[in-house]
Amino acid sequence: MRKMTLFKLFGINLKITTKIIHMTTRYKTKNYNAVYTKLYEINALKLVFPLQQFHRKYCFQSFRGDETDSDSEDIEKKRDIKSTILQDNNDILAIKISECKSLQEIFDLLQNNKNKLNWKNISMAIAMVRELQIIYYRLCMFEKNLNSYITPEYNFEKILTNNDFLNLINFMEEHYEFMNIQCLSYSLLCLHKLGVDINSTVSLKLSHKLQKILMTTPVEEIESCILSRFIVTIVAHRDLLGLYILKDIWPIVLKKMELCDTYEDIKHISICLYNLPWFLNKSVMDNFISKIKCNLLNKPQHDEKIKCIVKVLRLINSPYWINQNTNLSRSLLLSLVGAVKQIALYDMIQLQMIIVKQSEPYELFEEIHNETSKWLFKADVDTDITVLRLLSCIVPSSSASQRKQIESLLRKHFLLNNSFSHLCIGPLFNIIRNLKTSDLEICNAYWSSVLDWLISGKPSIRENHKLLRICNRYMNFNNNMSGTYRHYKFENQMINWLTEELDHGVSAIIPSKFTKIFSFFISYPNKNIGYEIPEVMVKKVLDTVGQYNIYDCYIVSKGLNTAFINRKNKTALPMFLDQYVRLCTALNKRSLDILNQEPNLSISQLNSLYRGYNHRYNVKEPRLFYKILERYKNYTSEDFSSRTIRELTYNLVTSDWYDAELLDKCLEYFIKNHKYLLAENVEKILTLFFLYGVNSEQFIEFLPYATEIINRDKFKMSGLNFMRASLALCYFYSLSTPIKDYLFSVEFLEKLDDELNNCYAKATYPLKVRQLLMILNRAVCIDYPEFDVPWFHTKYCEEIQSLVPKHTGSFYLEVEKKLNQLIINKGYLKSNSFSPYGYKLDFELILNDSKQLKSTNKNEKLILLLLNENDLRKTDNEMRGLSRLKQRHLEILGYRVIWIKKSIWNSMFMTEPEAKLSYLKNLIWQKP
């Protein structure tokens, strides 16, 4: 009763009361009054925070990002800031500051004792301001997202203009000379996280002082956490000054790395190396990997070890190193199996992101997914930034029902009725992108909110690297929606900002930035922007293409591919087509130069080079293509991973190429590591072998494992992917009874209906799913009669047959003409007919023992089918899987099947007057 009276006194409405009670009971806050009184005033700078009593399980990170753990790691425990930065200190004022529960309390203490302040008090004050900020963004993000009474002018986002805080900064400038190394590093990081400009006077003074101490202190006496704090802060310079400072710090990091042998040291050195990718090389990484293997593998489980493993995994899974240490990465991940419940939320999110990148191992992927999925049931109550980040990890592997629940949550809380904090932009993007929702209102609400935030925000949020990151997100989003989504207002405004950046910024002279701008600029034409590419930009690319790296070539190629697709209905664009050919030719030449100059490309780099080449599909360069394929031969199966194999199979299917030796290496990896594989990766390689209608000894060996994995994950796979995998297994006579039972169950058909109702590409996706379901039904009926599966697509096939037009191509008409010359009795020849189970037959002949048609078989049913170039493999001109499956099924149904290849029909030896008639006779009346 007393608690409710307090709420009435403070004027808190029932909605807020319910939330606070839920949070206190759920997270076992020890001091309820401290939680309630946090809302005792509207002014956020006077909010009372339960610092010492608040249980941190609800929270997971600081608002500035996840560059380091230095000030936001112990999320499950109370943090004792005093012992962190001022060990064994008995300064009474510092102790009082460490016990403050509001900013105003800190500022009042400083003001009342300003004549007695020393460096210890100042250090503690700035650390406590940062601590309160962490709690504010963790605890109050929920209320902000629901448009509660907390408004932007009353929160920490405005702290940099607060007079009391500015006075604290002035005090720090006066006393920083006396700070010890621990306080210097922590204060510098806190200023950075609070939003103080890294080039401000106070930050520069602290960084120079700390740099000087680091350069003169023996490495043995420097704590690794001090190095990580300093490096994370200096990296934020994003300029040459920062690199100049880090150049002197790098040798210290290397020496410290040689000495590290504890979980704490390895963790912080991992943070240092992760933030210094420009200084890393293979030798350094190999030395660090040796340290990791000695100190992390086969060691007892421990909380500190878990935190250490997460940071190590983040380092070795950074873009350049992700494929260099696949086995170590898997071993570290597997060491966490069974310990997921002990992992803090922030670390769990990091792990989920790493596993999604690696696409393995299954055991930990499943365990983390099960644990994080529980948050879906709590999302309606706790829809905050923490839950959003968790959901962004869950969506890629979520079921159809879970996706509907997540979509409903977004619609309710974040997009349609309420604006959302800019902190939610990243997680929301990952969620909506992977949902592939058909609700354009959600998509429009998201991109409109992003645009409004960019327009209304400070100029700093529109810095080139931030704009380019958002542009890249938009392009990935558009790609995931198969190019069906456009937000023209967003595109136009981004083009305006990017044009301004090219005119007045530095991006025009930095290839890695210019290529991203160019790619976005050309990808999304409309009547306002125009459909031609400015020639000055084309000339810029052609003049600087010699400076492009693999990723630059890929980015421009991706933009050209999108540009071509978005202009395909514009026929009168001769200037664009000329520009397109010139750019693609130049990129092919540059890619070939890179291959010749770089003998030690990683598989990931080679995959990017290959994918870039595929994007330039209208301008081929055979030398480059064969050289890329040849370079893969330098790798063994040990160099591959699930991720690289997935990228490679995508590239092979896109370029329509089958390479037996290369795929056997992939299969060798899959066979060896089958227990770690995810079904979606197995489906990709099954589909590839089915499309080409081939197999090998390695593939036959892999099939039992593939069947087991598909059966294991059948309830989690998307309907389309599961049907693709099932069709491939059916083709190779490996379809198991459990897979068949689920495939033709009411549960699966209802799942398909849900997917079709919520798919984003309603013009094409339902047709694709329905057609594949029919093909599967037919394949199982014919190949597996013992399964006794009914044929339930008769009506569908009749509908399709009524819409199929008669062939009018010259190849078909010419064959028909020659057959009519051979078959006088028209009753023995049918054209454009259909077999049982709905196969389209080009020509159907009935042979009997008539004098005209001599045959040893009476009333033989013979089928003539035409093979165009698209029906054959490029590598050896043999039939693809669908054609082989068709032949097998027709033969089971009692037909003799004859194929006529277009290439043979139009070859030189067929130009003789009677050659084609003779060719047909020999095919039809084969000699015994």
In a domain, 399, yes or no: no
- Across the range 435-439, mean pLDDT stands at 82
Distances (CA, A) of 753 to 81, 400, 588, 766, 772: 55, 10, 44, 9, 14
pLDDT of residue 545: 95
- pLDDT tens-digit readout, 820-845: 888 877 667 888 889 999 999 999 98
pLDDT band at 369 (very low <50, low <70, confident <90, very high): confident
| CATH code of the domain containing 833 | 3.40.960.10
Q: DSSP letter at 804? A: P
The residue segments making up the domain with residue 166 are 80-301+308-314
- Across the range 529-545, mean pLDDT stands at 89
In a domain, 714, yes or no: yes
Residue 600 sits in the same domain as residue 666: no
Which residues on adjacent β-strands are paired with residue 866? 900
- pLDDT tens-digit readout, 747-758: 999 989 888 887
Residue 672 sits in the same domain as residue 533: no
- Across the range 528-543, mean pLDDT stands at 87
Distances (CA, A) of 404 to 347, 513, 765: 26, 38, 18
Residue 586 sits in the same domain as residue 546: yes
pLDDT of residue 889: 96
Residue 582 sits in the same domain as residue 716: no
- Across the range 77-97, mean pLDDT stands at 72
pLDDT band at 22 (very low <50, low <70, confident <90, very high): very low
Least confident of 294-303, 552-561, 697-706: 294-303
User: What is the pLDDT of the chain when averaged over all its residues?
Assistant: 82
Residue 605 has pLDDT above 70, yes or no: yes
Q: Which 3 state secondary structure label does DSSP give 878?
A: coil
CA within 13 Å, CB half, 246: 24
Q: Which of 763, 791, 819 is the last residue of a domain?
A: 791
Residue 162 sits in the same domain as residue 199: yes
pLDDT of residue 463: 86
In a domain, 639, yes or no: no
Q: Are β-strands 829-834 and 860-867 bridged in parallel, bridged antiparallel, or unpaired?
A: unpaired
In a domain, 280, yes or no: yes
Residue 479 sits in the same domain as residue 624: yes
Residue 571 sits in the same domain as residue 673: no
Residue 230 sits in the same domain as residue 253: yes
Residue 713 sits in the same domain as residue 816: no
pLDDT band at 460 (very low <50, low <70, confident <90, very high): confident
Q: Which of 727, 757, 791 is the last residue of a domain?
A: 791
Q: Which residues of 180-201 are buried (b: 16+ CB within 10 A; e: fewer)?
A: ebbbbbbbbbbbbbbebebeee
Residue 146 sits in the same domain as residue 225: yes
State the total domains in the chain.
4
Q: Looking at beta carbons, which pairs linking 1-6 to residues 24 or more positions away fall under 8 Å?
A: 3/32, 3/36, 6/33, 6/36, 6/37
pLDDT of residue 456: 85
- Across the range 155-175, mean pLDDT stands at 85
What predicted TM-score, i.e. pTM, was given to this entire model?
0.82
Q: DSSP letter at 900? A: E
- pLDDT tens-digit readout, 289-345: 999 998 888 777 777 888 899 899 999 988 778 878 888 988 899 888 888 888 877
Say if CB 207 and CB 236 are below 8 A apart.
Answer: no
Residue 720 sits in the same domain as residue 812: no
In a domain, 234, yes or no: yes
Radius of gyration of the chain (CA): 33
Phi, psi of 844 (to 5 degrees): -120, 125
